[in-house]
Structure 1
């Protein structure tokens, strides 16, 4: 370029000199000025050569402006769970800071990318891997501010942040979440079943009497059905407690009732000789664990008496009706009001 300009200026000088008829001494002066200008231009151009000569670059003939932007893709960053790394992608932008004249030459883009990755790593390391979408929005906000790198050579920020998991890691997390949900449901169902078994075994079927009271409470409009199911309830209670049915309930259990009829009347512990309706009524109330002072005893006795009368068991019905009186005349305690 310097030689080309010098030649053009020389031709213009010759033309001007011929047209204006310069004196002879002017020609050497003009030539000296042209040579001095060319030499000065060459010296200045040499001083402006880059730190790395253009011929040493990959594309020495292409002159480009340094761009303060770089795209990073699929950089692995740690998550809260070991071995589950996030894949980080973003556009990193930076601006060099003013430095001293004797500061070493650095790769500003490398410093900017390293600063952004360090800032992103502090956030992802505290994030669970299945929250990648939420963490991505957090990174977009945290990296949107220009901040200096640790060396104070550039200020950097990031845009278009993308955070994801590999397809295989995402499938594993989905399966683990499904297993945890199934396990929680199974544990809830197991506790509910244990509670139900405890209720039936320790409360409802603890004794034949408690089973009868429970069944009557659920079927209070079907007294006759409750009476007919006493044998079944006694068998259920006995099976639940791994014990034979109490002797007071043998007459309600079909197999045991036939054996009782075959063997003849037995001593019920209250008195010897044949059973009376009074004995049957008292045994029934005692088996139901309804003492003379229990407030439920009159209601139970009255309703069972109605069922017994409907089944033509009039003697038993009358005995129960007498016990339906809150203060029966034959109350062993004899605690009638006023007495």
Structure 2
């Protein structure tokens, strides 16, 4: 009983004595009643103190027995960067964790001298069963999986304890992580290259087997590409015919060769051939002979000396009354200066006025 309880008991005893004394005086109790009242007032507190002491002793013993009946021997051990196999050879996970365990009743396997070793072995066996089926590239996901699997207390293989793990952290060797990042980059580049290659193959197949299969298919495709501009498509028929023939490694059909535009060099060669053929059909003139002479002297077309020399020869021939031959020379070798635009008289070779051309 506490001090407060004792004080309360004494106070109540005194109060009850005063009340009973007042009642006894008023009622004029006999002497034996007063003797009984005195005994009760003294015995009541003593009896209360005795009962309280007995009750406290029984509660304390029961509480102490309850506290010491089933002591729990809970301990822990930290492991750091222990290698566990992954699904890929030579790529190990590194696990770090805090291992906790509870000892159980001995099961006939001998005295347990190193419970930490048994607990760590049990936790690593459970973790290895998970990691050896996982790819090393998913290290963060496997870490969360292990935190969930190892969070429960489960018995070890001997049955002497039950173990669990907290704060599980899973990593890889730095060089292994660099290799995995490099392999991931190569796979991504290869996938992009493969998609591009397939796209190019598909495009070549479309152009070769569909668009440029023949000239008709190319014309239809070109017409659709140019918003049905028929005039432009007709102008490009020669180009489409050449493109189709080149794509199929064949010659342009005879019926389409007239549509093929000839290069400028070939046109100039054909025109020169035509002029040469026309010149060979007629007899050479004085202008032809003079041209051969000037060419032999190295005076090419456009040379000022060639023009001046030809004009002087034309003037000399004009003095011989051969006006037609002179005019022919002027027209061929000096067309802009053949006649002046004002009076129709050819200028002199020195820039002055010339004699009138009487034969024109």
TM range (shorter): 0.5 to 0.7
Residues 113 and 102 of structure 1, relative CA distance in 2, 3 Å threshold: closer
TM-score (norm 1): 0.55
Aligned-residue offset at 1:255: 3.3
CA–CA distance in structure 1, aligned partners of residues 162 and 112 of structure 2: 16
By how many angstroms is 1:213 displaced? 1.3
Alignment of 1:107 with 2:84, yes or no, is no
Counterpart Cα distance in 2 of 1:100 and 1:237: 90
- 1:192 & 1:98 partners in 2: Cα distance? 70
Aligned residues: 195
Which residue does the alignment assign to 2:226?
Answer: 219
Q: Aligned pair in 2 of structure 1 residues 227, 100: CA closer, same or farther (>3 Å)? A: closer
Match of 1:207 in 2: 214
Q: Closer, same or farther in 2 for the Cα pair 1:198/1:102, shift >3 Å?
A: closer
Partner of 2:86: 79
- Which whole-Å CA distance do the structure 2 matches of 1:133 and 1:140 have between them? 11
- Structure with the larger RCO, 1 or 2 (CA within 8 Å, 6+ apart): 1
Name the structure 1 match of 2:235.
228
Deviations along 1:173-229, one digit per CA (max 9) or x if unpaired, are 011011101111111111111111011111111111211111112224421111110
TM-aligned CA distance change 1:198 to 1:148, over 3 Å: same
Worse overlay, 100-109 or 141-150: 100-109
Equivalent residue number for residue 166 of structure 2:
159
Aligned to 1:177: 184
Query: Larger Cα Rg: Structure 1 or Structure 2?
Result: 2
Within a 5 Å distance, the mapping from 1:228-267 to structure 2 comes to 228-255=235-262
Structure 2 gap ranges (5+): 1-72, 271-360
Q: Which has the higher helix share?
A: 2
Shift of 1:122: 0.3
Structure 2 CA distance, aligned partners of 1:100 and 1:178? 54
**Aligned equivalents of 2:196 and 2:107: distance in 1?**
72
What do residues 39-76 of structure 1 show as CA deviations (whole Å, max 9, x unaligned)?
Answer: xxxxxxxxxxxxxxxxxxxxxxxxxxx86100000000
2:201 corresponding residue in structure 1: 194
Please state how far the C-alpha of 1:89 moved relative to its aligned partner.
Answer: 0.3
Which SS does the other structure have where 1:106 is aligned?
coil
How do 1:1-339 and structure 2 match up within 5 A? Answer: 68-99=75-106, 103-255=110-262
